[in-house]
Chains A and B, each alone.
Chain A
C-alpha cells in the first residue's frame, strides 16, 4: 500500500472519509508528516504515533 493510502486509512479511522479525502491533495513525500501534524494537534501525540508505522 502506498504511504498515501496508509494515511487515508488512518485519517478515515480517526475522522471519517471527508478527512481522508484531503490526503489526495498531499504528496506521497509529505503526506505522513502533514497528517501526523493534524492528528497531533487535534488528538495528541499518543494517536499521532500511529503514523510512525506507516512505511
Chain B
C-alpha cells in the first residue's frame, strides 16, 4: 500500500474521543496505525512535534507538499467572532475549511464535531456548530453541499464519547476501499442502525413493564429513570464498552449521547421524555409474545 496520511485536529473538545479511541483493542491503536500503514501526521495529544514544527507541518499539508488522505476533526467549531482565535491568532473556522478542502475525506469524531454537541446547547455563547450539521439540521460550518475531493460528505461518528470500534472500523473500511452505507445523519449504518436498547440486559423488564423506581433497583431504566435507549441509535449493548459493559448494563440510564440533538433534545436526562416510535412498540409486543409464550403483558 502507498503512503496514507491522517491528520487529527481539535476544536472545542474535552479530548474524550481521542482518549476513547486510544483504548481500542484488536487491534490496539498503535497496531491499527502500523498494520494499516497509516501515517498519523499530527495528533494534539500524541504527536511528538509541537509549536513551530507543528505549524510548518500544517502549512506543508495546506500547500499540498504533504497529501492529506483523511482529516479527522474532534470537537465543535465556535462561529462567533472572538471565540475561535486559535493557532497564533488565526481563525479555527479557516483551519477547518482549509483542511476539509485539501483532505480527500473528512471525518467528524464525536457528537460535538458532528452536530455541535454540548457547546452548542443554549445559550451557545460561542456560536458552536458541527462540521456539517448543527443538531438535526444539515449545514454546520462547511454547509450542506460540502463534499470532499473524494465526493463524500463529512462522515459523522458521534457519541459522547465515541466508541473506538466505530472510529477505527470506519477508518479501516475507507482505508481498504469497502464502502459502508450511511444513515440520514451521515453516520455509518454498521454502528448506528441498532437502538441502544437492543441487547440491553434490562430488556425483559421492559417487555413486562417492570420499571426501576430508583438506581440499583431491578427493572427497566426507562419510565422513572428516563433511559433514552429505545430511541437512540448506537450498538452499545451489542458491542460493549471497554470490553465489559455499557451505561445501561452498569445500571445507568442511557442519556442519548449519539443523537444529533444531544444533549438538549435528551433533557431532562432522568425523566421519561420519549414518544416511543410505532415500530418499536410493535417490536416490543412481538418480542414479549415470544418471551412469555404468547401472552402480552
Contacts and interface: CB of A to CB of B under 8 A. Distances in A.
Contacts of A47: 177
Contacts of A11: 151
A19 B2 contact: no
B187 interface: no
6 contacts: A14-B178, A16-B181, A20-B151, A39-B177, A43-B1, A43-B175
Q: Which 5 A-B pairs have the closest CB atoms?
A: A19-B151, A16-B179, A22-B151, A14-B177, A44-B2
B41 interface: no
Interface string B161-184: 000000000000011111111100
Contacts of A41: 2, 67, 69, 104
Contacts of B67: 41
Interface in B102-160: 104-105, 147, 149-153
A21 interface: yes
B260 to A, nearest CB: 19
Contacts of B149: 38
Contacts of A14: 177-179
A16 B178 CA distance: 8
Interface residue SS majority, chain B = loop
B204 to A, nearest CB: 38
A11 B180 CA distance: 12
A12 to B, nearest CB: 7
Interface in B65-104: 67, 69, 104
A41 B152 CA distance: 15
Contacts of B182: 16
Interface residues of A, number: 21
A23 B214 CA distance: 57
Interface residues of B, number: 22
Interface of A is mostly: helix
B143 to A, nearest CB: 15
Interface string A18-37: 11111000000000000000
Interface string B240-279: 0000000000000000000000000000000000000000
Given A41-B104, A42-B69, A42-B104, A15 B1 contact: no
Given A41-B67, A46-B1, A15 B177 contact: yes
B191 to A, nearest CB: 15
A52 B90 CA distance: 45
B153 A18 contact: yes
Contact of A15 (B2, B69, B151): B151
Contacts of B105: 42
A16 B1 contact: no
Contacts of A43: 1, 175-177
A37 to B, nearest CB: 11
Given A12-B179, A47-B177, A19 B150 contact: yes
Given A42-B69, A44-B2, A15 B174 contact: yes
Contacts of B104: 38, 41-42
Given A19-B150, A19-B152, A13 B1 contact: no
A38 B177 CA distance: 12
B179 A13 contact: yes
A31 to B, nearest CB: 13
Contacts of B1: 43-44, 46
